[in-house]
Chain A
Amino acid sequence: MNETSKDQDKEAGENQTVISLEGVSFGYSPEHPILQNITLTIPQGQWVCLVGPNGCGKSTLVKLLNALLPKSAGEIVVCGQKLEEETIGYIRQSIGMVFQNPDNQFIGATVEEDILFGLEGLCLSHAEMESRLHSYTQRLGIDHLLAKHPGELSGGQKQRVAIASILAMEPGIVIFDEASSMLDEGSRDELMGILHDMRAEGKYTILMITHDADEILATDRVLALQGGGLVADVTPAELFLNAELLERCHLQEPYAWGLAHELQKRGIQIDVPASEKELIDTLWP
Protein backbone atom coordinates (compact mmCIF):
# COMPACT_ATOMS: atom_id res chain seq x y z
CA MET A 1 0.00 0.00 0.00
CA ASN A 2 2.79 2.37 0.95
CA GLU A 3 4.72 1.31 -2.11
CA THR A 4 1.88 2.13 -4.45
CA SER A 5 1.26 5.48 -2.81
CA LYS A 6 4.96 6.22 -3.23
CA ASP A 7 4.70 5.33 -6.90
CA GLN A 8 1.79 7.69 -7.19
CA ASP A 9 3.85 10.36 -5.52
CA LYS A 10 6.54 9.77 -8.09
CA GLU A 11 3.99 10.30 -10.80
CA ALA A 12 2.86 13.41 -8.98
CA GLY A 13 6.50 14.46 -8.91
CA GLU A 14 6.51 14.32 -12.70
CA ASN A 15 3.46 16.53 -12.66
CA GLN A 16 3.93 19.98 -13.87
CA THR A 17 5.62 22.35 -11.46
CA VAL A 18 3.11 25.03 -10.53
CA ILE A 19 5.23 27.17 -8.24
CA SER A 20 8.93 27.76 -8.61
CA LEU A 21 11.18 30.22 -6.83
CA GLU A 22 14.79 30.85 -7.77
CA GLY A 23 17.01 32.94 -5.49
CA VAL A 24 14.08 35.02 -4.21
CA SER A 25 14.76 37.73 -1.62
CA PHE A 26 12.69 40.43 0.02
CA GLY A 27 13.21 43.27 2.49
CA TYR A 28 11.46 46.54 3.32
CA SER A 29 14.95 48.08 3.25
CA PRO A 30 18.31 46.60 2.15
CA GLU A 31 19.63 46.66 5.75
CA HIS A 32 16.76 44.52 7.04
CA PRO A 33 16.30 41.54 4.73
CA ILE A 34 13.22 39.48 5.61
CA LEU A 35 13.71 36.64 3.11
CA GLN A 36 17.01 35.70 1.57
CA ASN A 37 17.77 33.59 -1.46
CA ILE A 38 14.79 31.20 -1.39
CA THR A 39 14.79 28.47 -4.02
CA LEU A 40 12.06 25.82 -4.21
CA THR A 41 9.59 24.10 -6.52
CA ILE A 42 6.12 22.73 -5.82
CA PRO A 43 4.44 20.25 -8.19
CA GLN A 44 0.75 20.40 -9.09
CA GLY A 45 -1.54 18.73 -6.57
CA GLN A 46 0.82 18.72 -3.62
CA TRP A 47 -0.32 19.77 -0.13
CA VAL A 48 2.56 21.71 1.38
CA CYS A 49 2.84 23.37 4.75
CA LEU A 50 5.10 26.26 5.59
CA VAL A 51 6.32 26.37 9.19
CA GLY A 52 8.68 28.47 11.31
CA PRO A 53 8.83 30.84 14.30
CA ASN A 54 6.79 34.06 14.42
CA GLY A 55 8.41 36.69 12.26
CA CYS A 56 10.49 34.28 10.13
CA GLY A 57 8.91 35.42 6.86
CA LYS A 58 6.18 32.83 6.16
CA SER A 59 3.42 35.30 5.33
CA THR A 60 5.88 37.46 3.41
CA LEU A 61 6.86 34.49 1.24
CA VAL A 62 3.29 33.68 0.20
CA LYS A 63 2.56 37.35 -0.49
CA LEU A 64 5.50 37.44 -2.91
CA LEU A 65 3.90 34.67 -4.99
CA ASN A 66 1.11 36.90 -6.26
CA ALA A 67 2.97 40.17 -5.91
CA LEU A 68 1.02 41.49 -2.94
CA LEU A 69 4.57 42.36 -1.96
CA PRO A 70 7.24 43.03 -4.64
CA LYS A 71 10.25 40.69 -4.52
CA SER A 72 13.61 42.45 -4.21
CA ALA A 73 15.51 39.81 -6.18
CA GLY A 74 15.15 36.43 -7.86
CA GLU A 75 12.62 34.79 -10.16
CA ILE A 76 9.13 33.50 -9.44
CA VAL A 77 7.18 31.29 -11.87
CA VAL A 78 3.53 30.43 -11.16
CA CYS A 79 1.56 28.08 -13.45
CA GLY A 80 4.15 28.42 -16.18
CA GLN A 81 4.12 32.21 -16.14
CA LYS A 82 7.09 34.22 -14.97
CA LEU A 83 5.90 36.82 -12.44
CA GLU A 84 6.19 40.19 -14.18
CA GLU A 85 4.14 43.36 -14.46
CA GLU A 86 2.09 41.92 -17.38
CA THR A 87 1.43 38.51 -15.80
CA ILE A 88 0.29 39.67 -12.34
CA GLY A 89 -3.36 39.59 -13.39
CA TYR A 90 -3.16 36.02 -14.66
CA ILE A 91 -1.18 34.84 -11.63
CA ARG A 92 -3.59 36.45 -9.16
CA GLN A 93 -6.44 34.55 -10.81
CA SER A 94 -4.62 31.25 -10.30
CA ILE A 95 -3.91 31.83 -6.61
CA GLY A 96 -6.61 32.10 -3.97
CA MET A 97 -5.56 33.40 -0.56
CA VAL A 98 -7.27 32.97 2.78
CA PHE A 99 -5.76 35.25 5.40
CA GLN A 100 -5.34 35.14 9.19
CA ASN A 101 -7.97 37.79 9.74
CA PRO A 102 -11.09 37.35 7.58
CA ASP A 103 -12.14 40.97 8.21
CA ASN A 104 -9.30 42.01 5.94
CA GLN A 105 -10.91 40.40 2.94
CA PHE A 106 -14.60 41.29 3.27
CA ILE A 107 -16.08 43.83 0.90
CA GLY A 108 -19.72 42.85 0.41
CA ALA A 109 -22.63 44.12 2.50
CA THR A 110 -23.89 40.56 2.88
CA VAL A 111 -22.25 37.16 2.82
CA GLU A 112 -23.90 36.46 -0.54
CA GLU A 113 -22.61 39.70 -2.10
CA ASP A 114 -19.18 39.04 -0.71
CA ILE A 115 -18.94 35.66 -2.36
CA LEU A 116 -20.50 36.88 -5.62
CA PHE A 117 -18.05 39.79 -5.81
CA GLY A 118 -15.13 37.51 -6.58
CA LEU A 119 -17.18 35.53 -9.11
CA GLU A 120 -18.30 38.68 -10.95
CA GLY A 121 -14.66 39.48 -11.56
CA LEU A 122 -14.32 36.15 -13.37
CA CYS A 123 -17.08 37.00 -15.91
CA LEU A 124 -19.12 33.88 -15.16
CA SER A 125 -22.73 33.35 -16.24
CA HIS A 126 -25.47 34.01 -13.69
CA ALA A 127 -26.39 30.35 -13.55
CA GLU A 128 -22.78 29.36 -12.88
CA MET A 129 -22.42 32.02 -10.18
CA GLU A 130 -25.59 30.84 -8.44
CA SER A 131 -24.53 27.23 -8.61
CA ARG A 132 -21.06 27.89 -7.19
CA LEU A 133 -22.48 30.18 -4.49
CA HIS A 134 -24.77 27.45 -3.27
CA SER A 135 -22.44 24.52 -3.60
CA TYR A 136 -19.52 26.17 -1.74
CA THR A 137 -21.61 27.80 1.01
CA GLN A 138 -23.28 24.44 1.58
CA ARG A 139 -19.93 22.68 1.73
CA LEU A 140 -18.74 25.11 4.39
CA GLY A 141 -22.00 25.02 6.34
CA ILE A 142 -22.77 28.72 5.89
CA ASP A 143 -25.70 28.55 3.46
CA HIS A 144 -28.02 29.83 6.21
CA LEU A 145 -25.92 32.98 6.62
CA LEU A 146 -26.18 34.32 3.05
CA ALA A 147 -28.30 37.36 3.97
CA LYS A 148 -26.18 38.35 6.99
CA HIS A 149 -23.78 41.26 7.15
CA PRO A 150 -20.23 39.93 7.70
CA GLY A 151 -20.04 42.13 10.82
CA GLU A 152 -22.79 40.09 12.47
CA LEU A 153 -20.85 36.84 12.24
CA SER A 154 -18.59 35.27 14.84
CA GLY A 155 -14.86 34.90 14.17
CA GLY A 156 -15.17 31.29 13.02
CA GLN A 157 -18.17 31.96 10.80
CA LYS A 158 -16.31 34.85 9.18
CA GLN A 159 -13.38 32.58 8.44
CA ARG A 160 -15.66 30.07 6.73
CA VAL A 161 -17.19 32.81 4.59
CA ALA A 162 -13.69 33.93 3.59
CA ILE A 163 -12.76 30.36 2.61
CA ALA A 164 -15.99 29.83 0.65
CA SER A 165 -15.46 33.05 -1.30
CA ILE A 166 -11.97 31.93 -2.32
CA LEU A 167 -12.89 28.32 -3.17
CA ALA A 168 -15.88 29.50 -5.24
CA MET A 169 -13.42 31.14 -7.63
CA GLU A 170 -11.87 27.68 -8.11
CA PRO A 171 -8.24 28.75 -8.22
CA GLY A 172 -5.59 26.12 -9.00
CA ILE A 173 -3.47 27.14 -6.02
CA VAL A 174 -4.98 27.90 -2.64
CA ILE A 175 -2.94 29.49 0.11
CA PHE A 176 -4.13 29.33 3.72
CA ASP A 177 -2.28 31.77 5.94
CA GLU A 178 -3.11 30.37 9.39
CA ALA A 179 -6.71 30.30 8.28
CA SER A 180 -7.70 27.90 11.06
CA SER A 181 -6.16 29.89 13.90
CA MET A 182 -9.48 31.52 14.81
CA LEU A 183 -11.60 28.37 14.48
CA ASP A 184 -12.74 26.16 17.32
CA GLU A 185 -11.66 22.54 17.11
CA GLY A 186 -14.89 21.34 15.51
CA SER A 187 -14.72 23.98 12.77
CA ARG A 188 -11.04 23.26 12.35
CA ASP A 189 -11.70 19.57 11.84
CA GLU A 190 -14.28 20.55 9.24
CA LEU A 191 -11.74 22.77 7.50
CA MET A 192 -9.20 19.94 7.54
CA GLY A 193 -11.90 17.71 6.02
CA ILE A 194 -12.37 20.24 3.23
CA LEU A 195 -8.62 20.34 2.65
CA HIS A 196 -8.46 16.52 2.52
CA ASP A 197 -11.22 16.54 -0.08
CA MET A 198 -9.43 19.22 -2.07
CA ARG A 199 -6.22 17.18 -1.96
CA ALA A 200 -8.09 14.05 -3.11
CA GLU A 201 -9.71 15.90 -5.99
CA GLY A 202 -6.22 16.59 -7.30
CA LYS A 203 -7.23 19.91 -8.83
CA TYR A 204 -5.66 22.06 -6.17
CA THR A 205 -2.14 22.74 -5.05
CA ILE A 206 -2.38 23.74 -1.40
CA LEU A 207 0.08 25.86 0.49
CA MET A 208 -0.73 26.21 4.17
CA ILE A 209 0.99 28.26 6.86
CA THR A 210 0.44 26.69 10.26
CA HIS A 211 1.93 26.05 13.68
CA ASP A 212 -0.43 23.22 14.47
CA ALA A 213 1.09 19.76 14.83
CA ASP A 214 -2.04 17.87 13.75
CA GLU A 215 -2.44 20.04 10.68
CA ILE A 216 1.21 19.56 9.73
CA LEU A 217 0.78 15.77 10.04
CA ALA A 218 -1.99 15.84 7.44
CA THR A 219 0.17 17.37 4.71
CA ASP A 220 2.54 15.84 2.11
CA ARG A 221 5.54 18.04 2.70
CA VAL A 222 6.95 20.53 5.19
CA LEU A 223 8.97 23.58 4.22
CA ALA A 224 10.63 25.14 7.26
CA LEU A 225 11.70 28.78 7.32
CA GLN A 226 13.94 30.33 9.92
CA GLY A 227 15.60 33.73 10.00
CA GLY A 228 14.51 34.43 6.44
CA GLY A 229 15.97 31.28 4.91
CA LEU A 230 14.66 27.84 3.97
CA VAL A 231 16.18 25.45 6.55
CA ALA A 232 14.38 22.17 5.84
CA ASP A 233 12.30 20.43 3.16
CA VAL A 234 11.04 17.20 4.80
CA THR A 235 8.00 14.99 5.34
CA PRO A 236 5.87 15.63 8.45
CA ALA A 237 7.11 12.38 10.06
CA GLU A 238 10.74 13.41 9.49
CA LEU A 239 9.99 16.76 11.10
CA PHE A 240 8.45 15.26 14.24
CA LEU A 241 11.31 12.80 14.66
CA ASN A 242 13.86 15.61 14.52
CA ALA A 243 13.88 17.28 17.95
CA GLU A 244 16.50 19.80 16.94
CA LEU A 245 14.53 20.93 13.88
CA LEU A 246 11.32 21.12 15.91
CA GLU A 247 13.00 23.44 18.35
CA ARG A 248 14.48 25.62 15.62
CA CYS A 249 11.04 25.96 14.05
CA HIS A 250 9.39 26.68 17.42
CA LEU A 251 7.09 23.69 16.95
CA GLN A 252 5.76 21.09 19.33
CA GLU A 253 5.00 17.48 18.59
CA PRO A 254 1.37 16.28 18.65
CA TYR A 255 0.11 15.24 22.12
CA ALA A 256 0.21 11.48 21.39
CA TRP A 257 3.81 11.74 20.11
CA GLY A 258 4.81 13.66 23.24
CA LEU A 259 3.15 11.05 25.45
CA ALA A 260 4.92 8.19 23.64
CA HIS A 261 8.27 9.98 24.06
CA GLU A 262 7.64 10.63 27.77
CA LEU A 263 6.76 6.93 28.24
CA GLN A 264 9.87 5.83 26.34
CA LYS A 265 11.96 8.04 28.66
CA ARG A 266 10.50 6.03 31.56
CA GLY A 267 11.40 2.70 29.96
CA ILE A 268 7.98 1.94 28.47
CA GLN A 269 8.65 1.28 24.80
CA ILE A 270 5.52 1.94 22.75
CA ASP A 271 4.73 3.30 19.30
CA VAL A 272 2.81 6.53 18.96
CA PRO A 273 -0.79 5.54 19.75
CA ALA A 274 -3.46 6.47 17.20
CA SER A 275 -6.04 6.99 19.94
CA GLU A 276 -6.44 6.78 23.72
CA LYS A 277 -8.11 3.40 23.28
CA GLU A 278 -5.10 2.05 21.43
CA LEU A 279 -2.84 3.30 24.25
CA ILE A 280 -4.87 1.43 26.88
CA ASP A 281 -5.05 -1.73 24.74
CA THR A 282 -1.28 -1.65 24.17
CA LEU A 283 -0.32 -0.98 27.79
CA TRP A 284 -2.84 -3.24 29.48
CA PRO A 285 -3.95 -5.90 26.98
Chain B
Amino acid sequence: MAIELQQVSYTYAERSLWKQTALHGIDLSIKQGSIVGIAGATGSGKSTLLQLFNGILKPTQGTVRVLDVTIKAGEKSPKLFPLRRRVGLVFQFPEQQMFEETVEKDLCFGPLNFGMSLDEAKERARKAMNDMGLDLKLLDRNPFRLSGGQMRKAAIASVLAMEPDVVVLDEPTATLDPISRAELIALLVRLCREQGRTIIIVTHRMDELLPYADSWIVLNEGSTAFQGSVKELAADPAILERCGLTVPQSLRYWRAVADRFGLDGENPRLTAESLAELIASLPAGKRDAHE
Protein backbone atom coordinates (compact mmCIF):
# COMPACT_ATOMS: atom_id res chain seq x y z
CA MET B 1 0.00 0.00 0.00
CA ALA B 2 1.21 3.50 -0.81
CA ILE B 3 -1.07 5.11 1.76
CA GLU B 4 -3.07 3.69 4.61
CA LEU B 5 -5.24 5.55 7.11
CA GLN B 6 -6.62 3.88 10.22
CA GLN B 7 -9.37 5.56 12.22
CA VAL B 8 -8.01 8.98 11.32
CA SER B 9 -9.67 12.15 12.55
CA TYR B 10 -8.51 15.69 12.09
CA THR B 11 -9.69 18.66 14.11
CA TYR B 12 -8.66 22.21 13.32
CA ALA B 13 -7.70 24.45 16.27
CA GLU B 14 -8.29 21.58 18.66
CA ARG B 15 -7.35 23.46 21.81
CA SER B 16 -9.42 26.54 21.12
CA LEU B 17 -13.03 27.59 21.23
CA TRP B 18 -13.14 27.49 17.45
CA LYS B 19 -12.27 23.84 17.12
CA GLN B 20 -13.80 22.19 14.12
CA THR B 21 -13.52 18.57 13.12
CA ALA B 22 -12.88 18.20 9.39
CA LEU B 23 -12.40 14.42 9.23
CA HIS B 24 -13.99 11.69 11.36
CA GLY B 25 -12.63 8.13 11.77
CA ILE B 26 -11.36 7.65 8.22
CA ASP B 27 -10.18 4.19 7.17
CA LEU B 28 -8.72 3.97 3.71
CA SER B 29 -5.99 2.39 1.68
CA ILE B 30 -4.47 3.41 -1.63
CA LYS B 31 -2.55 0.84 -3.66
CA GLN B 32 0.89 1.66 -4.97
CA GLY B 33 0.88 2.39 -8.68
CA SER B 34 -2.84 3.11 -8.92
CA ILE B 35 -4.89 6.12 -9.95
CA VAL B 36 -7.35 7.19 -7.29
CA GLY B 37 -10.04 9.82 -7.63
CA ILE B 38 -11.36 11.64 -4.57
CA ALA B 39 -14.74 13.32 -4.81
CA GLY B 40 -16.93 15.11 -2.32
CA ALA B 41 -19.07 18.22 -2.03
CA THR B 42 -17.65 21.59 -1.08
CA GLY B 43 -16.49 21.43 2.54
CA SER B 44 -16.49 17.62 2.78
CA GLY B 45 -12.84 17.47 3.91
CA LYS B 46 -11.02 16.67 0.66
CA SER B 47 -8.27 19.26 0.97
CA THR B 48 -7.72 18.36 4.64
CA LEU B 49 -7.36 14.69 3.70
CA LEU B 50 -4.70 15.47 1.07
CA GLN B 51 -2.61 17.40 3.54
CA LEU B 52 -2.36 14.30 5.72
CA PHE B 53 -0.70 12.45 2.84
CA ASN B 54 2.70 14.14 3.21
CA GLY B 55 2.60 15.21 6.80
CA ILE B 56 1.62 18.86 6.36
CA LEU B 57 -1.17 18.03 8.78
CA LYS B 58 -0.78 15.35 11.43
CA PRO B 59 -3.78 13.31 12.51
CA THR B 60 -5.40 14.36 15.79
CA GLN B 61 -6.54 10.73 16.12
CA GLY B 62 -5.51 7.50 14.43
CA THR B 63 -2.57 6.45 12.27
CA VAL B 64 -1.43 7.60 8.84
CA ARG B 65 1.01 5.36 6.96
CA VAL B 66 2.58 6.82 3.81
CA LEU B 67 5.13 4.63 1.98
CA ASP B 68 7.44 3.54 4.83
CA VAL B 69 6.63 6.38 7.22
CA THR B 70 4.11 6.08 10.04
CA ILE B 71 2.58 9.14 11.66
CA LYS B 72 0.55 8.41 14.79
CA ALA B 73 -1.64 10.89 16.60
CA GLY B 74 -0.08 12.10 19.83
CA GLU B 75 3.36 10.67 19.06
CA LYS B 76 6.41 12.57 17.94
CA SER B 77 6.47 12.13 14.19
CA PRO B 78 9.55 10.81 12.39
CA LYS B 79 11.63 13.00 10.07
CA LEU B 80 9.33 14.05 7.25
CA PHE B 81 11.97 15.47 4.90
CA PRO B 82 12.48 12.24 2.86
CA LEU B 83 8.72 11.71 2.71
CA ARG B 84 8.11 15.17 1.29
CA ARG B 85 10.49 14.46 -1.54
CA ARG B 86 8.62 11.27 -2.37
CA VAL B 87 5.10 12.66 -2.04
CA GLY B 88 4.48 15.69 -4.25
CA LEU B 89 1.48 17.87 -3.48
CA VAL B 90 -0.09 20.27 -5.98
CA PHE B 91 -2.38 22.70 -4.20
CA GLN B 92 -5.77 23.98 -5.23
CA PHE B 93 -4.48 27.48 -5.93
CA PRO B 94 -1.17 27.30 -7.81
CA GLU B 95 -0.17 30.89 -7.09
CA GLN B 96 0.13 29.91 -3.44
CA GLN B 97 3.07 27.68 -4.21
CA MET B 98 4.97 29.84 -6.69
CA PHE B 99 7.36 32.36 -5.15
CA GLU B 100 10.53 32.77 -7.19
CA GLU B 101 11.42 35.56 -9.63
CA THR B 102 11.39 33.32 -12.66
CA VAL B 103 9.58 30.15 -13.60
CA GLU B 104 12.94 28.38 -13.99
CA LYS B 105 14.07 29.25 -10.44
CA ASP B 106 10.71 28.11 -9.12
CA LEU B 107 10.98 24.78 -10.89
CA CYS B 108 14.59 24.26 -9.76
CA PHE B 109 13.87 25.09 -6.12
CA GLY B 110 12.53 21.67 -5.19
CA PRO B 111 15.21 19.56 -6.90
CA LEU B 112 18.00 21.83 -5.53
CA ASN B 113 16.50 21.68 -2.05
CA PHE B 114 16.60 17.91 -2.19
CA GLY B 115 20.30 17.88 -3.08
CA MET B 116 20.47 17.86 -6.88
CA SER B 117 23.12 19.76 -8.84
CA LEU B 118 22.07 22.96 -10.64
CA ASP B 119 22.54 21.37 -14.07
CA GLU B 120 20.48 18.39 -13.07
CA ALA B 121 17.78 20.64 -11.62
CA LYS B 122 17.63 22.71 -14.81
CA GLU B 123 17.36 19.56 -16.86
CA ARG B 124 14.47 18.37 -14.68
CA ALA B 125 12.81 21.78 -15.04
CA ARG B 126 12.99 21.62 -18.84
CA LYS B 127 11.63 18.09 -18.91
CA ALA B 128 8.73 19.00 -16.63
CA MET B 129 7.91 22.06 -18.77
CA ASN B 130 7.83 19.87 -21.87
CA ASP B 131 5.68 17.28 -20.12
CA MET B 132 3.19 20.00 -19.20
CA GLY B 133 3.18 21.37 -22.74
CA LEU B 134 4.63 24.73 -21.64
CA ASP B 135 6.79 26.75 -24.01
CA LEU B 136 10.41 26.81 -22.75
CA LYS B 137 10.40 30.56 -23.45
CA LEU B 138 8.28 30.94 -20.33
CA LEU B 139 11.21 29.77 -18.14
CA ASP B 140 12.54 33.34 -17.94
CA ARG B 141 9.15 34.84 -17.11
CA ASN B 142 8.02 36.03 -13.74
CA PRO B 143 5.56 33.31 -12.62
CA PHE B 144 3.05 35.96 -11.56
CA ARG B 145 2.87 37.28 -15.11
CA LEU B 146 1.64 33.96 -16.45
CA SER B 147 -2.03 33.41 -17.13
CA GLY B 148 -4.06 31.46 -14.56
CA GLY B 149 -3.85 28.27 -16.63
CA GLN B 150 -0.14 28.63 -17.40
CA MET B 151 0.57 29.26 -13.72
CA ARG B 152 -1.28 26.10 -12.78
CA LYS B 153 0.70 24.09 -15.32
CA ALA B 154 3.94 25.60 -14.00
CA ALA B 155 2.96 24.71 -10.44
CA ILE B 156 2.28 21.13 -11.49
CA ALA B 157 5.59 21.08 -13.40
CA SER B 158 7.45 22.23 -10.27
CA VAL B 159 6.11 19.20 -8.41
CA LEU B 160 6.75 16.77 -11.28
CA ALA B 161 10.34 18.07 -11.50
CA MET B 162 11.00 16.33 -8.18
CA GLU B 163 9.82 13.03 -9.69
CA PRO B 164 7.83 12.02 -6.60
CA ASP B 165 6.61 8.44 -6.13
CA VAL B 166 3.19 9.67 -5.08
CA VAL B 167 1.65 12.66 -6.84
CA VAL B 168 -1.28 14.26 -5.04
CA LEU B 169 -3.24 16.91 -6.92
CA ASP B 170 -6.03 19.10 -5.54
CA GLU B 171 -8.36 20.07 -8.39
CA PRO B 172 -5.48 20.14 -10.89
CA THR B 173 -7.64 20.80 -13.92
CA ALA B 174 -9.71 23.71 -12.62
CA THR B 175 -8.93 26.75 -14.84
CA LEU B 176 -7.22 24.63 -17.50
CA ASP B 177 -8.79 24.63 -20.94
CA PRO B 178 -10.32 21.27 -21.92
CA ILE B 179 -7.49 20.29 -24.27
CA SER B 180 -4.88 21.03 -21.60
CA ARG B 181 -7.04 19.11 -19.12
CA ALA B 182 -7.14 16.02 -21.30
CA GLU B 183 -3.38 16.30 -21.87
CA LEU B 184 -2.70 16.56 -18.13
CA ILE B 185 -4.85 13.54 -17.35
CA ALA B 186 -3.08 11.60 -20.13
CA LEU B 187 0.31 12.56 -18.69
CA LEU B 188 -0.70 11.45 -15.19
CA VAL B 189 -2.03 8.17 -16.56
CA ARG B 190 1.33 7.60 -18.30
CA LEU B 191 3.27 8.38 -15.10
CA CYS B 192 1.18 5.74 -13.37
CA ARG B 193 1.07 3.01 -16.02
CA GLU B 194 4.63 3.34 -17.34
CA GLN B 195 6.54 4.37 -14.23
CA GLY B 196 4.42 2.87 -11.50
CA ARG B 197 3.75 6.12 -9.70
CA THR B 198 0.73 6.51 -7.47
CA ILE B 199 -1.58 9.30 -8.63
CA ILE B 200 -4.22 10.78 -6.33
CA ILE B 201 -6.55 13.40 -7.77
CA VAL B 202 -9.22 15.42 -6.01
CA THR B 203 -11.71 16.51 -8.60
CA HIS B 204 -15.25 17.72 -9.01
CA ARG B 205 -15.05 17.00 -12.73
CA MET B 206 -15.47 13.28 -12.28
CA ASP B 207 -16.27 12.84 -15.98
CA GLU B 208 -12.72 13.44 -17.14
CA LEU B 209 -11.17 11.01 -14.64
CA LEU B 210 -13.81 8.27 -14.69
CA PRO B 211 -12.40 6.38 -17.69
CA TYR B 212 -8.94 6.15 -16.05
CA ALA B 213 -9.29 5.94 -12.27
CA ASP B 214 -8.72 2.51 -10.71
CA SER B 215 -10.70 3.43 -7.66
CA TRP B 216 -12.67 6.23 -6.06
CA ILE B 217 -13.05 7.63 -2.58
CA VAL B 218 -16.15 9.72 -1.94
CA LEU B 219 -16.20 11.94 1.14
CA ASN B 220 -19.30 13.21 2.86
CA GLU B 221 -19.12 15.60 5.80
CA GLY B 222 -15.67 14.39 6.81
CA SER B 223 -16.32 10.63 6.51
CA THR B 224 -15.79 8.16 3.70
CA ALA B 225 -19.16 7.45 2.10
CA PHE B 226 -17.75 5.24 -0.65
CA GLN B 227 -14.50 3.46 -1.36
CA GLY B 228 -14.16 1.07 -4.25
CA SER B 229 -13.66 0.44 -7.94
CA VAL B 230 -15.20 2.37 -10.81
CA LYS B 231 -17.33 -0.69 -11.54
CA GLU B 232 -18.80 -0.61 -8.04
CA LEU B 233 -19.42 3.13 -8.29
CA ALA B 234 -21.07 2.70 -11.69
CA ALA B 235 -23.36 0.06 -10.21
CA ASP B 236 -24.81 2.53 -7.71
CA PRO B 237 -24.10 6.12 -8.70
CA ALA B 238 -26.95 7.30 -6.44
CA ILE B 239 -24.42 7.31 -3.60
CA LEU B 240 -23.01 10.49 -5.18
CA GLU B 241 -26.34 12.25 -4.88
CA ARG B 242 -26.61 11.24 -1.24
CA CYS B 243 -23.26 12.98 -0.76
CA GLY B 244 -24.50 16.20 -2.33
CA LEU B 245 -22.82 15.57 -5.69
CA THR B 246 -24.31 15.42 -9.16
CA VAL B 247 -24.01 12.13 -11.02
CA PRO B 248 -21.63 12.82 -13.94
CA GLN B 249 -23.17 12.69 -17.41
CA SER B 250 -21.00 9.82 -18.62
CA LEU B 251 -22.18 7.73 -15.67
CA ARG B 252 -25.84 8.72 -16.18
CA TYR B 253 -25.81 7.75 -19.86
CA TRP B 254 -23.97 4.50 -19.10
CA ARG B 255 -26.54 3.61 -16.38
CA ALA B 256 -29.43 4.30 -18.72
CA VAL B 257 -28.05 1.95 -21.38
CA ALA B 258 -26.94 -0.65 -18.80
CA ASP B 259 -30.39 -0.63 -17.16
CA ARG B 260 -32.15 -1.02 -20.50
CA PHE B 261 -30.07 -4.09 -21.43
CA GLY B 262 -29.11 -5.51 -18.02
CA LEU B 263 -25.37 -4.96 -18.50
CA ASP B 264 -24.43 -4.69 -14.83
CA GLY B 265 -21.65 -7.28 -14.90
CA GLU B 266 -19.78 -5.48 -17.68
CA ASN B 267 -17.07 -2.87 -17.43
CA PRO B 268 -18.76 0.52 -17.64
CA ARG B 269 -18.31 2.48 -20.88
CA LEU B 270 -17.53 5.96 -19.67
CA THR B 271 -16.42 7.82 -22.77
CA ALA B 272 -18.76 9.01 -25.54
CA GLU B 273 -16.75 6.94 -28.02
CA SER B 274 -16.87 3.64 -26.09
CA LEU B 275 -20.56 4.04 -25.25
CA ALA B 276 -21.43 4.82 -28.89
CA GLU B 277 -19.53 1.69 -29.92
CA LEU B 278 -21.53 -0.38 -27.47
CA ILE B 279 -24.85 1.14 -28.60
CA ALA B 280 -23.99 0.39 -32.22
CA SER B 281 -23.49 -3.28 -31.28
CA LEU B 282 -26.83 -3.57 -29.43
CA PRO B 283 -30.09 -4.63 -31.08
CA ALA B 284 -31.53 -1.66 -32.91
CA GLY B 285 -35.12 -2.14 -31.72
CA LYS B 286 -37.68 -0.29 -33.81
CA ARG B 287 -35.12 2.28 -34.87
CA ASP B 288 -34.10 0.44 -38.07
CA ALA B 289 -37.64 -0.66 -38.88
CA HIS B 290 -38.50 2.98 -39.60
CA GLU B 291 -35.67 3.39 -42.08
Contact = CB atoms under 8 A, between A and B. Distances in A.
Contacts of A280: 256-257, 260
Nearest to B152: A54
A100 interface: yes
Contacts of A55: 146-147, 149-150
Contact of A103 (B93, B246, B255, B285): B93
A266 interface: yes
A256 interface: yes
Interface in B110-162: 145-150, 153
A185 B204 contact: yes
A60 B153 CA distance: 18
A156 interface: yes
Interface string A236-255: 00000000000101111011
Interface string A55-74: 11111100000000000000
Contacts of A84: none
A164 to B, nearest CB: 15
Contacts of A57: 147
A54 B181 CA distance: 11
B175 A181 contact: yes
A285 B171 contact: no
A184 B148 contact: no
Interface in A267-285: 267-268, 276-277, 279-280, 282-285
A62 to B, nearest CB: 12
Contact of B177 (A53, A261, A267): A53
Q: How large is the interface on A (under 10, 10 to 19, 20 to 34, 35 or more residues)?
A: 35 or more
B279 A276 contact: no
Given A181-B175, A279-B256, A266 B42 contact: no
A178 interface: yes
B75 interface: no
Interface string B15-27: 0001010000000
Given A268-B287, A285-B287, A185 B246 contact: yes
A25 interface: no
Contact of B95 (A54, A101, A153, A259): A101
Contact of B272 (A153, A156, A189, A259): A259
A60 B149 CA distance: 13
A184 B276 contact: no
Interface in B255-278: 255-257, 260, 272-273, 275-277
Contacts of B277: 262, 266
B185 to A, nearest CB: 12
A242 B85 CA distance: 45
Nearest to B147: A55
A154 interface: yes
A108 interface: no
Contact of B178 (A100, A250, A261): A250
A94 B179 CA distance: 34
A236 to B, nearest CB: 15
B211 interface: no
Interface string A177-189: 1100111111111
Query: Which of B40, B42, B93, B253 has the most C-beta atoms of chain A within 10 angstroms of its own C-beta?
Result: B42
B43 A182 contact: no
Interface in A144-165: 152-157
A100 B148 contact: yes
A255 B272 contact: yes
B177 A250 contact: yes
A28 interface: yes
A45 B43 CA distance: 34
A186 B145 contact: no
Contacts of A262: 272-273, 275-277
Given A154-B47, A185-B245, A284 B204 contact: no
Interface in A14-72: 28, 52-60
B245 A54 contact: no
B180 interface: yes
9 contacts: A53-B149, A54-B150, A100-B148, A152-B12, A154-B43, A154-B44, A155-B92, A211-B176, A250-B177
Interface of A: 28, 52-60, 100-101, 103, 152-157, 177-178, 181-189, 211, 213, 247, 249-252, 254-256, 258-259, 261-263, 265-268, 276-277, 279-280, 282-285
Given A181-B175, A184-B42, A268-B287, 10 more contacts: A54-B180, A55-B149, A184-B244, A255-B253, A262-B272, A263-B279, A263-B280, A276-B256, A279-B256, A285-B286
Interface of B: 12, 18, 20, 40-44, 47, 92-93, 95-96, 145-150, 153, 171, 174-182, 204, 207, 244-246, 248-250, 252-253, 255-257, 260, 272-273, 275-277, 279-280, 284-287
